[in-house]
Structure 1
Amino acid sequence: MRWKLKPETDSQITSNLAKELSIDYTLAKLLVQRGIQNFDDAKAFFRPDLADLHNPYLMKDMDLAVERIELAISNNENILVYGDYDVDGTTSVSLLSSYLKTIHPNVATYIPDRYAEGYGVSYKGIDFAEDNGITLIVALDCGIKAIEKVAYAKEKGIDFIICDHHRPGKEIPKAVAVLDPKREDCEYPYKELCGCGVGFKLIQALAGKRGETIDDLLPYLDLVATAIAADIVPITGENRVLAYYGLKVINTNPRNGMKAMIHQIDKDELTITDVVFIIAPRINAAGRIKHGNYAVELLTEVDFDTAVEFASAIEKNNNERKDLDKSITHEALQQIEKNNEQQNFSTVVYNETWHKGVIGIVASRLIETYYKPTLVFTKSGDKLAASARSVKGFDVYNALEQCSEFIEQFGGHKYAAGLTLTEENYPKFKAKFEEVVKETLPEELRTPEILIDAEISLSEITPKFFRIINQLAPFGPQNLRPVFSASGLRDNGYGKKVGADQTHLKLSIIDGVNQKTYNAIGFSMGDKFELVQKEQDFKAAFNIDENHWNGNTSLQLMLKDLQPA
């Protein structure tokens, strides 16, 4: 792995901040790295305030969206809340539909079938709306490229409002309103909202019409925080405020569906990381294995006992997803070795029997083994469908654009995308994608990078140091949990491989400066054991966390990598 130290901060600004906040220089440096330069910046960061949320009407077309929904309410129209089948989509639908039902009785929801309809707005969904006398569709977390679908709906007398956060194409659909902060003509101050975040701005605008305050919308923030975590959007600015308060709701008064999922796990207080790895996969499992509707039913259920039944069914989906993920990853790795493609610049694999619901997870798993831009294809009707995942710093969306001659349709982000193509175009696409990656992926991006926030002496690690680091949470993109490096370290002789298959590394580290001992754990780092034997000096990259054992709590180093001194 490549270790890269973040650039030095301005020493004067850092020293002044350390004095102003009565903290040490290293902690002040962490804050300056995050754009905090004075007391007021620090106050806004450490104490996020709902009053700092932007006026929703700063988003282009928000006035038109609110006007059309108000018209639908006054005319007693049927409204359909439509969203994608992933976490962002299902939380968005749950959020908007549950709010609209407090002010209007005629609200239905629709999640497209991952297999029969695919991603985004579908003709089948529009036909469903027509068959049920629906005259307004609000699409969330999708729709920014649904030009033909919106035109099709218009022919049937159905209006569209689009709430999306994906990059628009050259043309914007001719909907009544298109809410997307990434529109070039949208001057909304914060561009990194997830789909559920855009949906929240819409209910914020609607609530304002009814004299409701932001405090009245707090119960919806458990959904917004979950979507922010799952969609891996930056936890900065407005997202930080929404995630901060959303986590509070999750941990104190979550909706019944969320509470039912939390009851299945042994955890007192959930962090954003827990939401990513515990809550989000369960919500996602419904759409991956059965249907995304199950997730919406769970997240909007008002009866706790019924929610527990939904959560139990989704837990079974999640266990099935885990088994599929494991077996398909194994088959994909075998395919790479059989075709002797380990040395390729990209990873592109295909099997018509692979479950479409887990190919995105499998793509991420393959990157853990072969660190390169990855696509996993399976059969979807008469087409092939793929999930794309990328390595840090490489824009896979742009790479796909350069292969568009062989693609039927695609969409997504810098690091994750989806696409479909015809079977005859698969070999041509695979060759072209490999060529594009070979030409555009810089050498340094072909090795995983550890970004080090600061080099420290282990003597700096104290309970106060750890408490202040924890106050930087919620952690996520552009505000990751700090990574430190320290050198002149040595194992005190108690180091060993642990775990059923001896793949993990447990150390008791002595700092050569102050001779203090620190416990450390390195998951999947058993192969580094030789590096620390025979009193060899080494350096470590690590996070700091707490270890709870037998009623005792102590600070522990969570190793990310070890290197010779």
Structure 2
Amino acid sequence: MRWTIKPKPQEEEITSLAKALNVESIVSQLLLQRGISTYEEAKTFFRPQLSDLHDPFLMKDMDIAVERIEKAIANNENILVFGDYDVDGTTSVALVSSYLLSYYPNVATYIPDRYAEGYGVSYMGIDFAEDNDFSLIITLDCGVKAIDKVAYAKDKGIDFIICDHHRPGKELPKAVAVLDAKRDDCNYPYDELCGCGVGFKLIQALAVNNNQSLEDLIPYLDLVATAIGADIVPITGENRVLAYYGLQVINSKPRTGFQAIIAQTKKQKLTITDVVFTIAPRINAAGRMKHGQHAVNLLTETNVEQAEKFAGEIEKYNLDRKNLDKEITKEALQQIIDNGEEEKFTSVVYKDSWHKGVIGIVASRLTESYYRPTLVFTKSGEKLAASARSVKGFDVYNALDASSEFIEQFGGHKYAAGLTLLESQYEAFKAKFEEVVSETIDPNLLTPEISVDSIIDFKDITPKFHRILSQFEPFGPGNMTPIFMSENIKDSGYAKGVGADESHLKCSVFQVGNTQKINGIGFNLGDKLPVVKEGSFSVAFSIDENEWQGNISLQLKIRDIK
């Protein structure tokens, strides 16, 4: 691991903010590193309010979208709510459809089949709308590039309202309204909403005309918080407010479908990390293994027994997904070894029988193992399809663009992308991609980085400090869990490997010159045991609470040791 220490703000800035907030200088430093420099900004950060949310009508086309939906309701039209098959898409569809159904019955949902239709708006979906007399389609988390599809629907007399958060192309589809804060001509104050966040702005606008307050919309925020976590959007600005209140709903009064999922995870109080690693994979598993509509059915179900049945089915899909991704990851790692490709700048692997629904997860697993730009291919119809993943600081989308002579189609962003190509082009593409990456990547990026917020002493780690840190939650991009570093640390004699294969490290440590001992746990750091036993060392960690037999104590969640 590369340890980099974030620049420390100016001393006078730290002192001034610490004085204004009546906090210790380390807290002031952490806030300044997050762009918070005044009392007012700190108040907004620590005490998010629903009133901090922007007026939805500041979003370009929002007034037109609301007008068209109200016209549809007045004319008794059928409305189809259409979304992608991942967490952001399925939660968005559940959100908008359940809100509309609360006062208008002619609403149905549609999730495209991952394998038969692929990502985004599909001709099959439009044909379904025509066959079933839908005259308005509301898309969520997709549609901003669906120029041909929207034109196809228009010829059939079907209107589109697009709610998306992806970057538009040069031209916008000829929809009735395109709600996307990333439009060049949209002056909405916050452009980092996920698809479900844009869906929430739409229902917030509809609520104004229904004489409802923001408080009336709180029950929908469990869906929005889940999408924010799963889609890895910055947890800043509006997203922080939505995630903050959404987590409160998840932990106090979640919808029936979430209750059924949480009951299976045996979790008590869920953080955004728990949402990302326990709720989100289960919702995603439906679209990966079977069909995304199963996730929407669970998220909109109000009958407890029925929800438990749906959650049980999704639990099985998730188990199947886990087994598959474990099996394929093992095969893919072996392929890299067999091909003698351990020292390359990229990992590119292919097998025609690998399940298309899990190749993205496998690409992430391989990136964890070899930490380099990675592509996992499988057969998809007549062509090969791949999921790409990158490492921090390297733009895999640009690398694919530079190799595009061998690619049929590709899309995505800096750290994750998808592509298709002809099987006959696979080897040529693989060679070209390796060449592009080897010539353009900074070799430092091939070593994972730990970004340390501050160097602190063990005497600074107090229950009061931890209480303040916990108010920095929810954590996520733009507001990551603070990582600290302490030096001159020694083992108090209890360090050992734990876990089935002793791959994790458990220890009790102290800082030279200070008798205070603190327990630590380092996941997948069992190989650091000799370093810990040898002498003094430095440790990078976050601060965590550990509950054991009813006793709660602070512990170090160790990220690395050297």
Matches for 1:9-408 after TM superposition, within 5 Å: 9-408=9-408
Letter in 2 for 1:322: K
CA distance in 2, matches of 1:163, 1:312: 31
Cα separation, partners in 2 of 1:400 and 1:70, compared to 1, 3 Å: farther
TM-score normalized by the length of structure 2 = 0.98
Question: For residues 31-89 of structure 1, what are the alpha-carbon distances to aligned partners after superposition, in whole Å with 9 as ceiling and x for unaligned?
Answer: 11111112211110000011111111111121221122112111111111111100000
- Unaligned runs of 5+ residues in structure 1 are none
Q: Deviations over 1:441-460 (max 9, x none)?
A: 21221110000000000110
Name the amino acid aligned to 1:538.
F
Aligned to 2:167, the other structure's residue is in SS state: coil
Unpaired runs of at least 5, structure 2? none
Q: CA deviation at 1:224?
A: 0.2
Paired residue type of 2:537: F
Equivalent-residue separation in structure 2 for 1:363 and 1:406 (angstroms): 20
Deviation at 1:192, TM superposition (A): 0.7
AA of the residue aligned to 1:435: E
Residues 102-153 of structure 1, C-alpha deviation per residue, up to 9 Å, x if partnerless? 2321111111111111111111111111111111111111112211111111
- Taking structure 1 as reference, are residues 150 and 406 closer, same or farther at Cα in structure 2, changes over 3 Å only? farther
- 1:418-461: per-residue Cα shift (whole Å, max 9, x none)? 22222223223222322222222212211100000000001100
Aligned amino acid, residue 349 of structure 1: V
Q: Distance in 2 between matches of 1:206 and 1:383?
A: 44
Q: Is 1:415 the counterpart of 2:415 in the alignment?
A: yes
Structure 1 residues 348-372: Cα deviation after superposition (integer angstroms, max 9, x where no partner) = 1111111111111111100110101
Deviation at 1:173, TM superposition (A): 1.5
Residue 395 (structure 1) shift:
2.0
Q: Which moved more, 1:393-402 or 1:65-74?
A: 393-402
One-letter code aligned to 1:289: M
Amino acid at match of 2:4: K
Residue 199 of structure 1 aligns to which amino acid in structure 2? Answer: G
Whole-angstrom distance in 2 between the partners of 1:13 and 1:172: 45
CA contact (8 A) 1:83 1:110 kept: yes
Residue 461 (structure 1) aligns with: 461
Task: Name 1:537's counterpart in structure 2.
Answer: 536
Partner SS for 1:556: strand
Structure 1 residues 409 and 144, CA gap change in structure 2 (3 angstroms) = farther
> SS where residue 98 of structure 1 aligns?
helix
Q: Match of 1:264, SS? A: helix
Measured in 1, the distance between the counterparts of 2:236 and 2:398 equals 24
On the 8 A contact 1:85/1:114 being kept in 2, the answer is yes
1:498 Cα offset (Å): 1.1
RMSD, aligned α-carbons: 1.2
CA distance in 1, matches of 2:71, 2:426: 47
Count residues with an aligned counterpart: 562
2-structure distance, mates of 1:402, 1:160: 34
Identity %: 67
Q: Structure 1 counterpart of 2:151, which letter?
A: A
Cα distance in structure 2, aligned partners of 1:60 and 1:426:
43
Question: What is the CA–CA distance in structure 2 between the aligned matches of 1:176 and 1:425, rounded to whole Å?
Answer: 41
Give the partner amino acid of 1:150: V
TM-aligned CA deviation for residue 233 of structure 1: 0.5
Task: List per-residue Cα deviations over 1:285-325 (Å, max 9, x = no partner).
Answer: 11111110100000000111110110111111111111001
Q: TM-score, normalised by structure 1?
A: 0.98
Letter in 2 for 1:215: E
Check the 8 A contact 1:166/1:412 in 2, yes or no.
no
Structure 2 counterpart of 1:415, one-letter code: Y
Distance 1:423 1:136 in 2: 39
State the alpha-carbon separation in 2 of the partners of residues 471 and 415 from structure 1: 29
What do the CA deviations read for 1:255-274 (whole angstroms, capped 9, x no partner)? 10011111112222100000
Query: What is the identity, as a one-letter code, of the residue corresponding to 2:460?
Result: E
2:498 corresponds to which residue? Answer: 498
Q: Deviations over 1:83-103 (max 9, x none)?
A: 110000000000011111123
Mapped partners of 1:145, 1:342: distance in 2: 38
Measure the CA separation in 2 of the matches of 1:90 and 1:513.
55
Q: Distance in 2 between matches of 1:147 and 1:442?
A: 38
Letter of the 1:290 counterpart = K
Deviation at 1:472, TM superposition (A): 0.1
Counterpart in 2 of 1:553?
A: 552
Q: Secondary structure at the match of 2:265?
A: coil
Which amino acid in the other structure matches residue 556 of structure 2? Answer: L
Relative to structure 1, the CA distance from residue 146 to residue 403 in structure 2 (aligned partners, 3 Å threshold; closer, same or farther) is farther
Per-residue CA deviations over 1:233-272 (Å, capped at 9, x if unaligned) read: 1000010000000000101111100111111122221000
Query: Secondary structure of 1:506's match?
Result: strand
Q: Distance between the aligned counterparts of 1:184 and 1:401, measured in 2?
A: 23
Deviation of 1:283 (Å): 0.5
**Mapped partners of 1:462, 1:111: distance in 2:** 49
Per-residue CA shift, 1:319-344, capped at 9, x if unaligned?
11110010000000011111111222
Change (3 A) 1:511 1:40: same
Deviation string 1:187-229 (CA, Å, 9 cap, x unpaired) is: 1111111010011111111111112111111111000000000
Runs of 4+ aligned structure 1 residues displaced above 6 Å come to none
User: 1:217 & 1:412 partners in 2: Cα distance?
Assistant: 32
1:401: Cα distance to partner? 2.7
The amino acid that maps onto 1:46 is: F
Aligned to 1:533, what secondary structure does the other structure show?
helix
* CA contact 1:489–1:539 (8 Å) conserved in 2: yes
